[in-house]
Chains A and B, each alone.
Chain A
Amino acid sequence: MKAIVIGASSGLGLELAKQLAANKCHVACIARREDRLNELRTQFPEQIRTYKHDVKNYAEVETLFPKICKELDGLDLVIYCAGYMAPVTPNEFSTTKDLEMIDVNLKGAIAWLNEAAIRFQGTRSGTIIAIGSVAGDRGRQAQPAYNTSKAAIATYAESLRNRLSSSGVKVITVKPGPMDTEMTHGLGLSNMMSAKSAANKILGLIGKNGEFYLSPVHKAIFYIIKRIPSPVFRKLKI
């Protein structure tokens, strides 16, 4: 199998890349931080290729994507993992921070996954995995733009799924809960799922098509949370 993982230098993306490589998959790892990419490549020199790229550099994707496919000699799987959550205080409305999150979490995803869609529509095969979040299920008080970006990515992925299903392409939206990664350090959360275990669950979804939570507990909780009426929801501190 040949895969591209965007946002592979830390957290979930790093784990996904490692697990794919450990399963003899050829992986192209995309990230900004070159030192981390190099470290990853030394761990799996046979399986991993690395490409330094800032997902905000959308214009680069159109040429970079086919180049990567050529160097991988094919493509079966694309995972968009790049994600950014800016620290936002309860009364802060920072356009800079908010747009940064939209750029990385949403616009970068659209740039990469559109390329994946073009390719897989032509080859009538392939799997796209978009990492959404339970954070996208409701507009909560703490993170307006982060929530928006994750809701948008889920909607975008649903549209891709509906567009591409007749071409035999699988589009999987994953909605992880809080995970123990750099993004969540300092948030004071406990009982988080490890990135390793999340990556393992995500790779287990390959072959399926649709939207998935990573644990039955999340699925049940968010089934309820999504149905809480807005006037009630705004009074709850969740």
Chain B
Amino acid sequence: MYEFDRQRITKLSGFGMTQSSDAYLYRPTSEDQIRELLSLARQQGRKVTLRGSARSYGDAPNGSESLCIDICRMNRVIDWNPDSGLITCESGATIETLWRTGIEDGWWPPIVSGTMAPTLAGALGMNIHGKNNFKAGPLGNHVTSLDVMWADGRVETLEPSNPLFFAVISGAGLLGVILRVTIKMSKISTGNLRVLAVSPRDWDQQFELFEKYEGDADYMVSWVDCFGRGDQSGRGQFHAGWYLQSDEADYRSLLIDSQDLPDSIMGLVPKSVVWRFLKPLNNRFGMRFLNAAKHHAGAILGNHKTVTQSLVAFSFLLDYVPNWRNAYLPGGFIQYQSFVPKESAKHVFAAQIQLQQEYRLESFLGVMKRHKQDRFLLTNSVDGYSLALDFKVTTGNKNRLISLCHKMNDLVLSHGGRFYLAKDSTLRKQDLEQYLGPALNEFKALKQELDPECLFVTDQARRIGLI
């Protein structure tokens, strides 16, 4: 039996560690406990914030002074069918649960984020995408059913035939608690990818590569050196990946042991200490050097080379160096990702990079991906491209950084672009209104209908006017 317990107060922040607020943290293990927490919140006159692994960068996983329901302990696999590839899990199960459960039977999650940490509840609340978004869409496209608890405690099973399915997925945890999820996994015959690396010298070459491979690659991603100026703007390193097929299942490569990331570099340096070596380099000069070195090394040594890489090593780049985000301490960092229709993406991205250079606030890491449209209510999708940028936050640069992001927002919006709530820290209410248009009103109407007391809130929803 849950009671209001003052000792549960905890400072919660998003992955970027820039925004935080205090909430009473509860980590239930059953549906009944969640229902109990909803009534406890009501009885205490408090709001409820839903939280998973908190891999959203900004304030989306936070809810000041609310009762925070952390779903992470509800992580059981309820059913796994190795013949059909259908997996049913409690929603606190993670992307990692999915791949570890499926891989030895020849199944891989249809969509993976750059880290395997997100819970399914969080991943669907934000409707995550991966490097195969241009082909496979977001994770929501692969869900066959999900159980949701509404604010009144009722549980309903939603399938893609129900319009609510498309609102709860992408709904940022504001409509109801996702309890259980069934996902169709993707069939693979080996645990490896064939990966091609090419080093584009500018934006034209970047876009040409994406256009060239979008017809048949399974994955595409490109790293962009945001320090590249003038005719070097847009330089970077493009990767395309294809599932390595074989006539018979390649049992060895499908073993979890062949996938697991090593815990040290060349058997010598434990990866857990690597962020400490990154930290002194994590400034404009260090990053200018690292980005340039990476570009030139790629262009000279690795250009047009093809390698075989395990699915885990290719997919989960963010898990490669544990606690790498600590290199951004004490101020943390924000990620800024904008989605721009293909017709104007080149212009917008080039202008974004130029703006950053004018502000002398270049992103230390730029990542470009190809996307297609989907039909989820609060979607970030466009038929176009996205550029994700990591910005270090310090007390000295904070205000200028926000002003830079707002300028970049204006640029994106004037070209019909969109934003992704998991990576948002700087959207303004008017930005959200502009890109969501009537979908925002539709969402608010649903919120009013399903959660009339507005029990579910997040700091982000308050900031950007989702509620």
Q: Report which A residues bind B (CB closer than 8 A).
A: 62, 65-66, 69-70, 73-75, 115, 118-119, 122-125
Contact = CB atoms under 8 A, between A and B. Distances in A.
A69 B65 contact: yes
B181 to A, nearest CB: 31
Given A70-B46, A74-B21, A74-B22, A118 B65 contact: no
A75 B21 CA distance: 9
Contacts of A66: 4, 6
B229 interface: no
A24 to B, nearest CB: 16
10 contacts: A66-B4, A66-B6, A73-B64, A73-B65, A75-B22, A118-B6, A119-B6, A122-B10, A122-B11, A123-B11
Given A73-B64, A74-B21, A115 B11 contact: no
B398 interface: no
B375 interface: no
A146 to B, nearest CB: 32
Contact of A118 (B4, B7, B45): B7
A34 to B, nearest CB: 23
B64 A122 contact: no
A69 B4 CA distance: 14
Nearest to A75: B22
A62 B7 CA distance: 12
A155 to B, nearest CB: 24
B70 to A, nearest CB: 14
Contacts, number: 35
Contacts of A74: 21-22, 64-65
A213 to B, nearest CB: 30
Nearest to B10: A122
A199 B4 CA distance: 36
B322 to A, nearest CB: 21
The 7 closest A-B pairs by CB, nearest first: A122-B9, A123-B11, A70-B65, A123-B22, A119-B9, A73-B64, A118-B6
A16 to B, nearest CB: 23
Contact of B6 (A73, A115, A124, A125): A115
Interface in B46-68: 46, 64-65
Max chain A CB contacts within 10 Å: which of B8, B10, B22, B45?
B22
Contacts of B8: 122
A74 B59 CA distance: 15
A77 B65 CA distance: 16
A74 B462 CA distance: 15
A66 B4 CA distance: 10
Nearest to B4: A66
A75 B45 CA distance: 18
Given A74-B21, A74-B22, A123 B9 contact: yes
Contacts of A118: 6-7, 9
A124 B7 contact: no
B64 A125 contact: no
A125 B10 CA distance: 10
B6 A62 contact: yes
Given A70-B46, A74-B64, A122-B22, 6 more contacts: A73-B64, A73-B65, A74-B65, A75-B22, A122-B11, A123-B10
